[in-house]
Structure 1
């Protein structure tokens, strides 16, 4: 997006990084809750107790000797994802979508021998992708089969939905679509497309790539103005439930829509980025202020989701 004056940003209610860090992350996120969201395995176990579904766990590799079981576990699998439990920004994630004889096939079509995947598991355990370079755990999950209605808009990668949740209320959302520039990952900093979503309906509003407005996906050529997310209220309620599961007052909730399982939680983020505001064409501050000003907070996740849909819908 082109340069905007500080006065214009203030009028739009844009939250900046300093204010996010001080007034929201530091104030509302207890440090003791961070390990829950900085570790994907701990996240899966925590949210499952609150009825939030995640991709099926196939294997957990904690020790080097457990890697020898990987080939047997994966022998009959056509697709799966290997992830470092403490990785961030998609680093270290390997997605397998098929088989070619004894080799595994990535979404890009590249062939990988089993020995290479075993080396990758070894690197994960050594902490190559962990946040602080500390020893890690590798998790192997069922492959997400993205809903065809959304998959068509993304390029060689699973589209996901980021929802910012404040004090248990979903306040802003966007759809993230992979591109050639993002190497099949739904990461806006690497060039994925961000599509703002109306909290009231789950329908697309605006779209950006590298913070600049676009109307067509750069690879698929499809228009981004009439996208709708099915089961939207349920997804908002899932996001709201993550507040009870973690106790984090300000976080990003990343969901996918699986063709067979429906909405699934991919991961949580205690320090969600601010580009979601550009994708929505409006700032977070008015919505955050509205939640802080509530005289009587809503206690159930469903009530909070319904309040958000009614209060923050694009008029």
Structure 2
């Protein structure tokens, strides 16, 4: 499907922010569930009980005195990721992809000493990156090594897949590819590329950067029209399982495909953005209303994923 203007998208059922906040987030998301998805550590523990895999947890740093154990833990690691448990929008995440002597190497090639990482952990504990500036916890996870056929489309950063899940049904998906402009992060507001994905097959539909249509990745030069996501049905079922794990009726599920582990959950978002519609060239409203009209909801994540693949497949 080719590029469609925002005006046309509105006629096709583009969900705007006010309607998202009132009709979907406020109506379908219990406030009591927010702490679960706003804290990456709590998310990991909750989804594990429902068979949803996440990157391996290497260390949890809760107190300043525990930082001294980080250097010893990381001594033999080639790569890892440090994340604030309550961070948002990718803030405070530091990804180490290699070592050179005593230095740690980031994906961009820049170098950090162990002391730099320890200061970063101190900043996380102080709440520098948390949603409300409150004291936080740092988690250290195993490095995600992107599946090679997907990795070649992204610039430095690991590509991820955002799936919007409504009442347990995957309703829309996109692939997010890092760029130079986004500083290696899969953040569309910072300039990452969004590639709409056919819910039925996992194949690319069209792509945007800064809400403008593109056909080639601006940095890698790869064409974005024939991307095919492996293990697509497995990823949709994982996303659907997050409904049981959290009880959230409307959320964004962010997944990656690891070269060794396969699909992994990165994080959940109780307030997913709306740029996914631009990437797909389709509005969310018709799909949300289709789910709302269901008289007999499907009870298993597999059944809900199958229904979505059948009903929301690109025409």
In the superposition, the TM-score normalised over structure 2's length comes to 0.98
1:87 is matched with: 87
SS in 2 for 1:161: strand
The RMSD of aligned alpha carbons is: 0.9
Q: What displacement does 1:146 show?
A: 0.2
Unaligned segments of structure 2, at least 5 residues: none
SS in 2 for 1:25: helix
Q: What displacement does 1:2 show?
A: 8.8
> Aligned partners of 1:111 and 1:145: how far apart in 2?
19
Given that 1:2 and 1:212 are in contact with CA atoms closer than 8 Å, whether structure 2 keeps it comes out as: no
2:30 is matched with: 30
1:289 is matched with: 289
> Aligned partners of 2:105 and 2:308: how far apart in 1?
42
What are the within-5 Å matches in structure 2 for residues 1-315 of structure 1? 4-5=6-7, 8-315=8-315
Which 4+ runs in 1 deviate beyond 2 A? 1-5
> Aligned partners of 2:4 and 2:277: how far apart in 1?
14
How many residues align? The count is 313
> Aligned partners of 1:32 and 1:244: how far apart in 2?
14
Unaligned segments of structure 1, at least 5 residues: none
> Aligned partners of 2:9 and 2:301: how far apart in 1?
31
Q: What displacement does 1:9 show?
A: 3.5
Given that 1:170 and 1:305 are in contact with CA atoms closer than 8 Å, whether structure 2 keeps it comes out as: yes
Given that 2:4 and 2:281 are in contact with CA atoms closer than 8 Å, whether structure 1 keeps it comes out as: no
**Deviation per residue, 1:275-294 (Å, 9 max, x gap):** 00000000000000000000
Q: What displacement does 1:3 show?
A: 6.3
* More off after superposition, 10-19 vs 263-272: 10-19
Q: What displacement does 1:305 show?
A: 0.0
> Aligned partners of 2:89 and 2:215: how far apart in 1?
26
> Aligned partners of 1:104 and 1:4: how far apart in 2?
44
Q: What displacement does 1:251 show?
A: 0.1
Q: What displacement does 1:11 show?
A: 1.8
